[in-house]
Amino acid sequence: MDPEDPVHEIEEEQYMAEVEQILLAYRQQKLREHLVGPIVSFVMHIVILLLLTVFVVGKAQREPLPEIEVTMEEVPIKELEPPAIEEIEQMEDEVLDEAPAMDVDVPDVPIENTAVAALEDASEEAPESDDNFDMDDMLDILPTKTPLQLRGLYGGRTAKGRRANRERFGGNARGEDAVLRALRWLKKVQAADGSWENEAFTGLALLCFLAHGETPQSEEFGMTVQKAMQWLSGKVPVQGASHGYANGIATYALAEAYGMTQIPFLRQSMEAGLEVIVKGQQSGGGYNYAYGQTERWDLSVAGWQYQALKAGYVAGANVEGIDAAISKSKKFLKDVAYADGKFGYSSPGSGGNMTGVGTVALQLLGDGATKEVQAAANTILYERLPGYHWDNSGSSLYGWYYDTQAMFNQSGRSWRQWNDKFQKVLINAQDKEGWWKTGAGGHGNSKVFDTTLCCLQLEVYYRYLPTFDINKIRNRTAKRKGLIEEEDNGEFDDLIID
């Protein structure tokens, strides 16, 4: 056939067109084959998701929500504890400078005038005590500069410290329960302005809370303590006929409060009260009612002043003459001690309840190892312990308060014998509401007064850590401040109290 034949050209064009159609059909077929799998998979996933959605939603609608039970549990609040007693000695090597004084206005709390209890005519009045044990583990006691932190001398007052010291010195759970009931009763009967009847009783009650380690930050007793501090700080120095007793007690409480917390406004009142005490001391070292400068002295009145001087010194009070006052106090106490181991009320050696006062005063001022203290401790143990029983007469309660502290400071067998008896007597005599009452007249005939004396006795185990010696504390304090060489050459003996 001729290639140029027109018929041949037409047939060839038809052939090429058919080939192109066949190729196009082939490519479309291959494309469909490649797309079918993904499309089917996609559709299947959509269907599955739709079915799952219907299933879950339908089940959720059919099944009611389970009931949710909410319970509330009290989370125990752990008190921040300082280190254990044996660790505190290491902590005391830290140099603590005295906190700067701050001028803070004390809140003006309106109160009603209440009469100060008749404390001046009794031969058995009520003081506080402190420390002294047969061990040298707490000699470096300096004021803490951190507010509301218990350490040093007051480190035994935390929950951990109280528990450890009760176990160490013979306290028990019943005694601690009695203390708590007493504190709760005192909280209940506290006046709205923060007081308990008068300055003296308010000071005693505050001492009870402080002895238990309570500060304005305490959960249960914080407001009680805060109100008492505010009210008392506005009353010191105390004025009036009985201000020898009241000012000594109140100043002592404020000094201890400031030593524990370093709250600035307490310092101003503490130092004002201490200035009155220093200026009111007789030339021989004693004290009388209303700080009278007479030949008569009164060891019961003096006991409170000595305790206030000690507490103020430890708290870092800056009061001119406080060192000399402490020195004269110790000399006076030795002068009025009697050879048979007794201290007199207003004359040397008359004995009675004042023997404990003189003993504790010398112990807390750093002369606990003297012959006067050793003789008086024997008198307390062998003459006063046999009569330690609750007869509601009130004739011995004030003396017992001192006696208990004196025997605790003596430690050893003397303390064990005393502890075996006094603790049971006081626990069994407490009313179920938490108070004690002797039924005796005087001292305002007050449940508050009797309750504070008993409570403080049962807190004796942890009120102070052992061995508080002012002489050694002053020596170590001077060394830390660079006033004397590490090797004492006697050049600065005037810095140390005789």
pTM of the model: 0.68
Beta-carbon-side half-sphere exposure of residue 262 (alpha carbons within 13 Å): 18
Residue 281: both structure tokens together: 């001391």
Q: Residue 68, exposed/middle/buried by CB under 10 A (0-12, 13-18, 19+)?
A: exposed
CA distance 251 to 203: 8
Can you tell me the mean pLDDT for 347-358? 76
Structure tokens at 467: 């061995």
Residue with tokens 């400078």: 97
Cα distance between residue 109 and residue 111, in whole Å: 6
* Residue 196 DSSP code: B
pLDDT tens-digit map of 260-311: 999 999 999 999 999 999 999 999 999 998 998 988 999 999 999 999 999 9
List pLDDT tens digits, range 72-101: 554 454 443 433 434 434 433 343 333 333
- Gap between the Cα atoms of 318 and 99, Å rounded: 11
- List all residues 6 or more positions away from 121 whose beta carbon is below 8 Å from its beta carbon: 442
Taking only the tens place, the pLDDT of each residue in 195-252 is 999 999 999 999 999 999 999 999 999 999 999 999 999 999 998 766 889 999 999 9
Distance CA 121, CA 345 (A): 12
Q: Do the Cβ atoms of 338 and 291 come closer than 8 Å?
A: no
**What are the tens digits of pLDDT across the range 422-436?**
999 999 999 999 999
Whether pLDDT at 45 is above 60: yes
Would you state the CATH architecture of domain 125-480?
Answer: Alpha/alpha barrel (1.50)
